[in-house]
Structure 1
Amino acid sequence: MSLRRRRQLLGLLLAAAVLPAAAGSYEEFFFAVRNDNASKIRQLLQRGFDPNTIDPDRGETGLMLALRSDSVRVADVLMNAPGVDLEARARNGDTALMTAAYKGSIASVQALLDRKAEVNRPGWTALHYAATMGANDIVQLLLDRYAYIDAESPNKTTPIMMAARGGHILTVKLLLDAGADATLKNDAGMTAIDLARKFEHADIAEGLDWRIRQATKR
């Protein structure tokens, strides 16, 4: 047998030995993420497992999945993992910060911001998600970190529109007091007042209408 042929066979044998191990590590990683098994995640990372590995179900990184699954200990490990990409996007465009805002986890939002996660980006933002959930502490935290208050989603929906749509009157007030423009319209031609009325939040619609009329008198 030639030397070249022996090398080819050796390569095939090594590949056969490595692939099952990699597949096993992949399954272990996402199982550990979902079950908040931080010690297993540390072991895998020490063995060289990539913290930015993508779960094919939703196109999320382990960190995004940990935040969505309320796996707090695993999220903390992955946030601090060397080489972790905090700006990675899931298939739907979400980032880790957006996921944490949607879940209402102020501790995770704070930790990501402390690690310089980007607050402002084109399209949906963490502020949209925090407003959607009526998470006022997170809304305020993001505003304190210079979140653009009238950020537009792909269909021009703003955070105050999402707060009005969801019936979160205190969030609407918070955003208004911070300077949100309640007269803006989305692609459907609807303002925050229109969305409040559509989803039967009459108190919000009336309050917004009153605030806008007062502002025009000045």
Structure 2
Amino acid sequence: MNSSNLPEAVLSAIKSGDTSRIDDLYKSNISLAAIADEAASHAQPCILGWCYTQGWTHPRESFNSHFYICAMGGGIPIYQVLVDHGFDLKGHYTETCGDALSAALSSGDCDVVKWLLEHGHEATPSDGMHGSPSVWETVRADTPSLDMLKLLLEYGFDLKENGDGIGVIAADEGNLEALKLLLDRGVDVEDREMGGYPFDEERDEPEESRGTALYRACRQGHVECAKLLLDRGADARAKDDGGTSCLGIAKKRDHEDVVWLLEEVWGVKE
């Protein structure tokens, strides 16, 4: 036996997607729920479909369900079988991964994000209880996905209510295309929200460095983002919570092109 308490022969048949073998091996004392868990975990939609024919059914709603954690790992083929059998994508949640959309965003799986939205998942993810908002993954420098961001916005993601400072973060990361898209969709150019975002791990006076998108772009030396924000009406004289100006932080961090932009193009003086 293994951790699932299924006979090894049954587990082998699940992993290979052999429904005929499962039919031959199945006995009433073997747990259909355990077979369904393994089928989802190993992305075997035919085996999961077989479980339904034998009388198994998914829970209507769940919180921290082992089956749902397995299903999230199985991707689109497993989700499709579940939805075909009446599974409500909005009725399941885990405190580690959140809902299906949050998990897909966090893993950077644009195909799953698209599929979920097309099949009725709400455009606002319900994130897990720990970690950062999953929508941030669409603009992070190491995991950017303009396509995922576009999908969320296309399906009604509310930047005003649920943006969590995404415009500030895009500017800080130097993600010009994402920043432009967000501004086009109405993100507040003077937003200062940044939540618990670990800005480049600098950790020097992190609370005092809270500022607008323009301030963060100037701080990080992202001159193209700074140009865009200024063209869109950002306050060139904005200061962070500690009183340091955009020009002041650019000078402090030796971003000469940003300093030139502020002083020579926009006439900012200290």
Q: TM-score range by the shorter chain?
A: 0.7 to 0.9
- Paired residue type of 1:131: A
Equivalent position of 1:26 in the other structure = 68
Deviation >3 Å, runs of 4+: 16-24, 44-47, 49-55, 87-93, 121-124, 197-200
Task: Quote the Cα distance in structure 2 between the aligned partners of 1:104 and 1:188.
Answer: 30
Equivalent position of 2:231 in the other structure = 177
Deviates further, 121-130 or 180-189: 121-130
2:122 equivalent among 66, 71, 84: 84
When residues 51 and 29 of structure 1 are mapped into structure 2, their CA distance, relative to the original with a 3 A threshold, is farther
Question: Unaligned 5+ residue runs, structure 2?
Answer: 1-30, 38-57, 60-64, 195-206
Task: Quote the Cα distance in structure 2 between the aligned partners of 1:131 and 1:52.
Answer: 35
Task: Quote the Cα distance in structure 1 between the aligned partners of 2:249 and 2:227.
Answer: 15
Question: Deviations along 1:151-183, whole A, 9 cap, x unmatched?
Answer: 121665211122222221111111111111121
Deviates further, 42-51 or 177-186: 42-51
Question: Deviations along 1:44-93, whole A, 9 cap, x unmatched?
Answer: 34441534644433x53321231232212111112223253515355456
Task: Quote the Cα distance in structure 1 between the aligned partners of 2:124 and 2:105.
Answer: 12
Question: Deviations along 1:3-62, whole A, 9 cap, x unmatched?
Answer: xxxxxxxxxxxxx98798764422212323xxxx321222234441534644433x5332
Question: Once superposed, what is the RMSD of the aligned Cα atoms?
Answer: 3.1
Equivalent position of 1:188 in the other structure = 242
2:100 equivalent among 57, 62, 67: 62
Normalising by structure 2, report the TM-score: 0.60
Check if 1:164 corresponds to 2:218: yes
- Paired residue type of 1:117: F
How many equivalent pairs are there?
A: 194
More helix by share: 1
| Residues 1-218 of structure 1: pairs in structure 2 closer than 5 A | 23-32=65-74, 37-47=75-85, 48=87, 50-51=89-90, 53-57=92-96, 60-84=98-122, 86=124, 88-91=126-129, 94=133, 96=135, 98-102=136-140, 103-121=143-161, 124-153=164-193, 156-213=210-267
Report % sequence identity.
22
Secondary structure of 2:124's aligned partner: coil
Which of 1 and 2 has greater Rg? 2
Question: Unaligned 5+ residue runs, structure 1?
Answer: 1-15
Task: Quote the Cα distance in structure 2 between the aligned partners of 1:116 and 1:107.
Answer: 14
